[in-house]
Every structure is written in structure tokens, then in C-alpha cells.
């Protein structure tokens, strides 16, 4: 007995601690998924254990003709109505009615996708949509107008808590629907004519409406699939749509197959895709939180793509290395970095001071030192690739003499003290702020960087009292409204703490949403951009960054997608 004491101690320790539930937890995933479809715990881990490992070139057990991509973190949900950020997988498993296509000259256009074409009534209030015929969902159902109605109803049902419901706020009946007063938009914002024709009814002639329909958040769902997913979870408050792969159904080029929490997601080719099947067998998204691990996996061939957003300091290495320079892909980000100036904090009520700041910061130097020069200095609000982007906007050059002149004219020749605020957990923002701090010191402007925890930062910002800060905005949909209306309205200007004083300009931003003449509307946005940024100096525009990836040798036809979000559709990609 004594001889066994050590062994006994170890065994006891192990069994008593693990026995509390640990052992059960280990075994639980081995239950057959088919018997307990409502139990998300059962399915994915079991599949993970069955996978053959370390076979062939890859150690993940999936076929070779699979595109392997790295994800930094777990998805919020594959139900795109429950996210405002995780668009990559939705963009490959669902389709929208329309999509944005980048053109060779860097601009972009809206083209039909699940909708083939449309007509707008003269007053701009009724959009008649024609759906593509014979499009099949992954569950075999055929796409009809009723599926579009279901998608909208689902998005506006308050119990579903959709994160992007406001994108449909121009539809008739929206307010009643989101308050739960009407169960369906049929006969209100949507009128079904037949299986392939329906109308959107708007309360006002909202010009960016079509652009809104291209956002992944408005991917089209299938009613049968949605109902089945609700039933599997025991009700709409625990729907398994976007949770369990077999219930996550779309019309897209790929179908959800495996999802192992915090490990990987696999989507496989949809053989019935209406544009024709992808040349890939599937796409494997490996969830690898550590940037350096992801980089090593890319360089050792376990991943086919590495997003240099995750290792900006490596941009020069990849761009210049003989091994990788031909594999670098550069795309427009359709986004703008800028500083907000709070006009209610002295001395920023003075437009001369704000203009001086615009010329005192050397944006090119920041771009070069922090982002490897990958981008261009901004002079306005809209980013390249955006509808209405004005390449001829006068440049806001770095001009220390002019800045000094403006400061002197404003009565601050010796500078002043000011605060830049930021959240505590953003080292990149801190580097940027520190450079600006040093640059402004040249003008006698003494900057204190005030770091706050994120929650307090958002809280103070909402009250309009947050000092100057930097952030970026990237396009959600391809219309200038997405940029200008998000900032330059009285409510948003207060919410975002810059207290822009020019109410006339803000009224024009509101009015521009409802202008029907497209060319006149774009002209109005360009005029407003000049007025707000260059005449009123409400922002300090910094730069438009490029988005840079490096891909493995076997990847072909990797075209950066038009999107402010970082997702992409990989239908056209193929591997050697």
C-alpha cells in the first residue's frame, strides 16, 4: 500500500477535481449531434476529434484545395443581423440584393446581385425590385419575394435585437415594426407582387437606399431555414441560425460546414451557386488570436493570407523582400483617419486655431513612420473609391509657417495648452498621439494625452465634453451620406463630441439625403466637404490608409473587395 501512495495521491487529485464536471464536459461532445440538434455543445467538438490530423501538407485535416485564412478572434455570430463588424463569413455564405463593384479607375458602381434590376417611381418613394429566378438556398429552397419580406421582418422584430435594423429606417412602417406594434412589413414597407417581384415603400425619397441594400447586414435569409433554426433552439430568443452550421442557410457561394468554437470555421463550396461553383473546395478560417503566431503560420504555408493590418511594422519587410514582394496585394480601404476637434473647448472655438492645427501636423511623416507610407494624406472626408470622392479637393499641406501665422492672428503666437483623449488599451493610437504631441510642441502647443478606459471614454463622448481625439471611419455603404450624415448632424456632432457650430451646413447634409438628382447631389456633397473641412476646419483629416495583404504562392485572382469593412468574397479565388 505504501508503495502506491504517490500514485494514489496523483490519481485522487486528478479524479476529485476533474470529477466535479470536468470529465462529463470532456465526454459530452462525443454525443451524436443528430440526436440533440438543439445542443450546440454536442456537435462541433465531436467533429474536431474525428478529423484526421497531420496528413499531407496541412495539419488541419482538410483537403488541399481549401483556402486557409486566419481570423484574429471568434465571430460574433454568423447571423449577420447580429453583428456590425464580422462580415467575412456572411459575405461568402449569403448574398445581398445588390453589390458594389470596384472599377479599374478606383471608383465603384452598384450592380445587381440577387436582384437583377429595379425601377424607382418619379417621386423616389417606391422601388420595384425584380429577383433573379431559380436561385437556390443551401437547403434547396428557391428564393422568392417572401424571403426578402422574412429578412426585413426578422431584422425589425425587437426580440431579435438586430444590430443593423436602422439601415431600414426609411421604410414605411419601420417605427411600428421596431416597437413590436406590427408583426410584418407586408403591406407597409414591402408589397409583394409575385414570387419574383416586390416593392419597397419609403416614407421619404431616400437617395442612399440602394447603397444600403449592398451592406452584408442586409443579406437575404430563407423563411423555412429561419423557422427551423428557431425551432431547434426552442424559440426565436435562442435561434440556432448563425450558431449551428446546419441551420445557417444562405444563397452564397459557400455553405457553413464546421464550426469549432475559438478554433476554426469551415465553409465548403456550394455546388449549386447561381454564379457557378467556386474553384475552391472550401475555405478554412483558423482562429488564431496571436498576430505573431498567425504570421509564422503564413510563412510556413499553413495559412494562405496574412493581413498586414496585424503587423504594420512588417509592411516594409514584405513589400521589399524578394520572396514576398510579388505576393503583396494592395487595396483601398475606403476609410479616413482624422482628429475630431471639440469646438466647445477653448481655444478651438476659433476657426483660425483649428486651421492652424490642420497645417501644423505633418501627416505624411506620421504615415511614413507608423504605417510604412502605405496610404495617402487626406484633405477631406470622403475616401478614394467612394462615390462622390473629390480628387481635386485643395490639399491641406503641412505648412509650419502658415500654422504660425494663423496662430499669431488668432492671438496664440506663443501656443496654448490642450488635451488629447484616448482609450487606455490602444498602443497604436498612443503612438500617433505622441507624434502629434511632439509636432505641436514645435508651435508652443502643450499637449496632455489623457487616457481613459473605453467605457468612460464612450460615456464622456456622448455628453459632448470629450477633448480632441483621433479615430477612423470606413464606409459601410457606397454613398457619401454614410460619412457626412454619421458626423455632421446636430445629434451626431454632439454624440461624437465635436460640437460643430455650423447648423446651416448640417441642415444641408440632412437635405442632401433626399435630393433625387444624382449629379446635383454629388456636387452638393463635394461642396459640403469643402465647407466643413476646409472653410470651417471641423476636423483634421489625416490619411486614407491602404489595406495590404500578402498571399501565398498558390493563391490566384485575389481581388481586394470594395468595402470599408475588411471582409471579402472569395468566390473567384483559385489555388494552384
CB of 135 to another protein, least distance (A): 27
Q: Which is nearer to another protein, 393 or 484 (CB)?
A: 484
Q: Which is nearer to another protein, 77 or 358 (CB)?
A: 77
CB of 59 to another protein, least distance (A): 5
**Sequence-ordered alpha helix ranges (H) in 51-114:** 88-93
Find the angle CA(112)-CA(117)-CA(121) to the nearest 5 degrees: 130
CB of 255 closer than 8 Å to CB of 270:
yes
CB of 242 to another protein, least distance (A): 7
Query: For residues 381-414, b (16+ Cβ closer than 10 Å) or e, as one string?
Result: bbbbbbbbbbeebeebebbeeebbebbeebebee
- Cell digits of residue 236: 426565436
Q: How far apart are CA 184 and CA 367, in angstroms?
A: 49
Q: Which is nearer to another protein, 416 or 473 (CB)?
A: 473
Place of cell 418613394: 125
CB of 520 to another protein, least distance (A): 27
Q: How far apart are CA 354 and CA 559, in angstroms?
A: 39
Q: Which is nearer to another protein, 16 or 194 (CB)?
A: 16
**What is the four-CA torsion angle of 423, 424, 427, 431, rounded to 10 degrees?**
70
Distance of CA 282 to CAs 248, 334, 554, 566, 571, Å?
16, 28, 15, 20, 10
CB of 572 to another protein, least distance (A): 27
Q: Which is nearer to another protein, 84 or 502 (CB)?
A: 84
Tell me whether residue 126 is exposed, middle or buried, using C-beta atoms within 10 angstroms of its C-beta: 0 to 12, 13 to 18, 19 or more.
middle
Q: How far is CA 327 from the centre of its chain?
A: 24
Q: Which is nearer to another protein, 264 or 333 (CB)?
A: 264
For residue 11, give every residue at least 6 positions away whose Cβ sits within 8 Å of its Cβ, in sequence order, or none. none
CB of 467 to another protein, least distance (A): 18
- Cell digits of residue 97: 440584393
Backbone φ, ψ for residue 193 (5° rounding)? -90, -55
- The backbone region for 410, taken as left when phi is positive above 0, alpha when psi lies in -120 to 50, beta otherwise, is alpha
Q: How far apart are CA 295 and CA 236, in angstroms?
A: 40
Q: Which is nearer to another protein, 6 or 34 (CB)?
A: 6
Of residues 371, 409, 351, the one with CA closest to residue 540: 351
Q: Which is nearer to another protein, 58 or 118 (CB)?
A: 58
Of residues 572, 544, 561, 575, the one with CA closest to residue 88: 561
Please state whether beta strands 446-452 and 417-423 pair in parallel, antiparallel, or not at all (unpaired): parallel
Place of cell 468595402: 563
CB of 11 to another protein, least distance (A): 11
Q: Which is nearer to another protein, 161 or 193 (CB)?
A: 161
Tell me: cis bond preceding 347? Omega within 30 of 0 counts: yes
CB of 175 to another protein, least distance (A): 10
CB of 282 to another protein, least distance (A): 17
Q: How far apart are CA 536 and CA 291, in angstroms?
A: 41
Q: Which is nearer to another protein, 84 or 327 (CB)?
A: 84
CB of 413 to another protein, least distance (A): 36
CB of 474 to another protein, least distance (A): 9
Q: Which is nearer to another protein, 238 or 503 (CB)?
A: 238
CB of 409 to another protein, least distance (A): 35
Of residues 339, 491, 353, 462, the one with CA closest to residue 410: 353
Q: Which is nearer to another protein, 238 or 557 (CB)?
A: 238
Q: Which is nearer to another protein, 121 or 456 (CB)?
A: 456
CB of 317 to another protein, least distance (A): 16
Q: How far apart are CA 230 and CA 250, in angstroms?
A: 15
Hey, is 261 helix, strand or coil? coil
CB of 262 to another protein, least distance (A): 3
Of residues 234, 93, 241, the one with CA closest to residue 162: 241
Q: Which is nearer to another protein, 129 or 152 (CB)?
A: 152
Amino acid at each position: 500500500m505504501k508503495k502506491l501512495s504517490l500514485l494514489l495521491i496523483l490519481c485522487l487529485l486528478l479524479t476529485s477535481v476533474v470529477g466535479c464536471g470536468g470529465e462529463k464536459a470532456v465526454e459530452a461532445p462525443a454525443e451524436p449531434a443528430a440526436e440533440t440538434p438543439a445542443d450546440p455543445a454536442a456537435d462541433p467538438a465531436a467533429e474536431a476529434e474525428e478529423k484526421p490530423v497531420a496528413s499531407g501538407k496541412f495539419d488541419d485535416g482538410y483537403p488541399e484545395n481549401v483556402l486557409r485564412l486566419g481570423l484574429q478572434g471568434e465571430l460574433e455570430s454568423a447571423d449577420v443581423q447580429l453583428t456590425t463588424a464580422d462580415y467575412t463569413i456572411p459575405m461568402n455564405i449569403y448574398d445581398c440584393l445588390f453589390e458594389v463593384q470596384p472599377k479599374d479607375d478606383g471608383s465603384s458602381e452598384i450592380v445587381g446581385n440577387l436582384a437583377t434590376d429595379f425601377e424607382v417611381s418619379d417621386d423616389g418613394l417606391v422601388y420595384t425590385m425584380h429577383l433573379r429566378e431559380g436561385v437556390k438556398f443551401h437547403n434547396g429552397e428557391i428564393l422568392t419575394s417572401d424571403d426578402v419580406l422574412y429578412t426585413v421582418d426578422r431584422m425589425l422584430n425587437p426580440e431579435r435585437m438586430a444590430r443593423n435594423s436602422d439601415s431600414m429606417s426609411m421604410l414605411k412602417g419601420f417605427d411600428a415594426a421596431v416597437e413590436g406594434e406590427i408583426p410584418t412589413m407586408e403591406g407597409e414597407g414591402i408589397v409583394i407582387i409575385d414570387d419574383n417581384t416586390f416593392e419597397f415603400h419609403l416614407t421619404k425619397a431616400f437617395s442612399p437606399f440602394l447603397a444600403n441594400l449592398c451592406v452584408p447586414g442586409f443579406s437575404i435569409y430563407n423563411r423555412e431555414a429561419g423557422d427551423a433554426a428557431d425551432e431547434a433552439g426552442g424559440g426565436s430568443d435562442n435561434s440556432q441560425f448563425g450558431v449551428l452550421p446546419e441551420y445557417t442557410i444562405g444563397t452564397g457561394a459557400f455553405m457553413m460546414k464546421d464550426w469549432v468554437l475559438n478554433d476554426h470555421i469551415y465553409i465548403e463550396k456550394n455546388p449549386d451557386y447561381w454564379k457557378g461553383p467556386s474553384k475552391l473546395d472550401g475555405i478554412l478560417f483558423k482562429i488564431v488570436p496571436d498576430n505573431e503566431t498567425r504570421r509564422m503560420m503564413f510563412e510556413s504555408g499553413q495559412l494562405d493570407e496574412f493581413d498586414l493590418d496585424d503587423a504594420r511594422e512588417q509592411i516594409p519587410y514584405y513589400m521589399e523582400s524578394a520572396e514576398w514582394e510579388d505576393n503583396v496585394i494592395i487595396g483601398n480601404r475606403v476609410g479616413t483617419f482624422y482628429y475630431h476637434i471639440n469646438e466647445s473647448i477653448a481655444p478651438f472655438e476659433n476657426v483660425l486655431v483649428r486651421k492652424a492645427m490642420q497645417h501644423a501636423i505633418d501627416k505624411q511623416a506620421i504615415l511614413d513612420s507608423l504605417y510604412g507610407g502605405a496610404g495617402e494624406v487626406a484633405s477631406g472626408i470622403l475616401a478614394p473609391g467612394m462615390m462622390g470622392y473629390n480628387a481635386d479637393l485643395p490639399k491641406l499641406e503641412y505648412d509650419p509657417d502658415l500654422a504660425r501665422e494663423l496662430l499669431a492672428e488668432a492671438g496664440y503666437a506663443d501656443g496654448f495648452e490642450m488635451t488629447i483623449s484616448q482609450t487606455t488599451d490602444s498602443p497604436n493610437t498612443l503612438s500617433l498621439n505622441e507624434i502629434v504631441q511632439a509636432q505641436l510642441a514645435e508651435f508652443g502647443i502643450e499637449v496632455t494625452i489623457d487616457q481613459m478606459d473605453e467605457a468612460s471614454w464612450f460615456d464622456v463622448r456622448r455628453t459632448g465634453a470629450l477633448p480632441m481625439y483621433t479615430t477612423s471611419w470606413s464606409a459601410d455603404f457606397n454613398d457619401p451620406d454614410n460619412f457626412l450624415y454619421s458626423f455632421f448632424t446636430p445629434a451626431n456632432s454632439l454624440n461624437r463630441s465635436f460640437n460643430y457650430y455650423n447648423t446651416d451646413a448640417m441642415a444641408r447634409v440632412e437635405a442632401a439625403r433626399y435630393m433625387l438628382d444624382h449629379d446635383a447631389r454629388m456636387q452638393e456633397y463635394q461642396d459640403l466637404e469643402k465647407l466643413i473641412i476646409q472653410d470651417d476646419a471641423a476636423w483634421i483629416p489625416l490619411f486614407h490608409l491602404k489595406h495590404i495583404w500578402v498571399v501565398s504562392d498558390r493563391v490566384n485572382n485575389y481581388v481586394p473587395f470594395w468595402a470599408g469593412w475588411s471582409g471579402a468574397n472569395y468566390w473567384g479565388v483559385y489555388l494552384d
